Amino acid sequence: MVDASNTSELILDCEYVYDANDLMLVVKWFHNNSPEPIYQWIPDRGVRYVGELLRQRFDMNFSVNPNDIYSKFRALKLRNNITVDLNGNFSCVVTSLAGQDGRQGQMVVYVTKGDRELECQAKGVYPRPLLTLSEQTTTSSNFHVFPKVNVTTHQNSDTQYFSATLRHTPHQSSHTGTIFECKLEIPQTNYIRRKRIRIFFPSSKSSQK
């Protein structure tokens, strides 16, 4: 578990052992069920790819072992922006001509009650987008739409595209496991996009460990 309120950096490592048979070694990291890697490193080519989820918080200078050219960039070091969108399953997969192996683990990012704020953004869309926020508690199977949330909208005078930002501070009575859903709709079209996050809070027992 990771306390986002008190964590400025985070390291996820992918340990492995290789030998002379492991030609064309490739290291990939995945998040949840996405088929696209959030990070990929090909040592022989000196190429690294960092996906959108990590791009603004990834430390490109970090290495676990600068002297080992086949393992030095295997890990993920994230800085400054440790937020709840990192919740979920992280898996690393190492492949070579000799075979493939992988490991996975679950990460829970939580925030303290005083620091909670949800933000949903839409950029570069037209016509004016509609953003709504809904909540599903652990005792309900349905989502409840918040009738009043803070949404600001701006139109670029050059491109005419719109940007919209929704901000909401969850109620103090919100319980761990509550799911919040942000929905983006483009009027006069069938376009709908949803993004959900589940909020976790540490129990008193977890806090003492």
Q: Of the given ranges (1-10, 34-43, 72-81, 154-163), which has the lowest mean pLDDT?
A: 1-10
171 and 122 in one domain? yes
C-beta separation of 3 from 112 below 8 A: yes
Query: Is 149 found in the same domain as 51?
Result: no
Provide the whole-model pTM.
0.56
Residue 147 has pLDDT above 50, yes or no: yes
Please tell me whether residues 135 and 176 are part of one structural domain: yes
Residues 103-139 have pLDDT tens digits of 999 888 876 655 567 889 999 999 999 999 998 888 8
CATH number, position 47: 2.60.40.10
Give the pLDDT mean for 66-91: 91
Task: Look at residues 105, 125, 128 and name the one whose alpha carbon lies nearest to residue 32.
Answer: 105
| pLDDT above 80 (res 37) | yes
Residues 105 and 23 in one domain: yes
Question: Domain range holding 130?
Answer: 113-207
pLDDT digits (tens, 9 = 90+) for 128-137: 999 999 988 8
Residue with the larger pLDDT of the pair 1 and 80: 80
Which of 110, 133, 157 is at the close of a domain?
110
Residue after which a domain boundary falls, among 87, 110, 133: 110
Phi, psi of 12 (to 5 degrees): -115, 120
Structure tokens given for 9: 């950096």
Same domain, 73 and 100: yes
What is the C-alpha to C-alpha distance for residues 7 and 14, in angstroms, rounded to an integer?
21
**Alpha carbon 80 to its chain's center:** 13
**What confidence tier does 204 reach under pLDDT thresholds 50, 70, 90?**
very low
Q: Does 102 share its domain with 6?
A: yes
Kindly state whether residues 121 and 106 are assigned to the same domain: no
The candidate with the shortest Cα–Cα distance to 162, out of 185, 132, 194, is 185
* For residue 208, pLDDT beyond 60: no
Last residue of a domain, one of 72, 89, 110: 110
> 185-198, pLDDT tens digit by residue?
999 999 999 998 88
Tokens of 62: 């970090």
What's the total number of domains in the chain? 2
Q: How far is CA 199 from the centre of its chain?
A: 13
- Report the chain's mean pLDDT, rounded to a whole number: 87
What would the mean pLDDT of 83-95 be, rounded to a whole number?
92
Give the pLDDT confidence score for residue 207 in this predicted structure.
Answer: 38
Same domain, 19 and 90: yes
Residue 132 and residue 95 in one domain: no
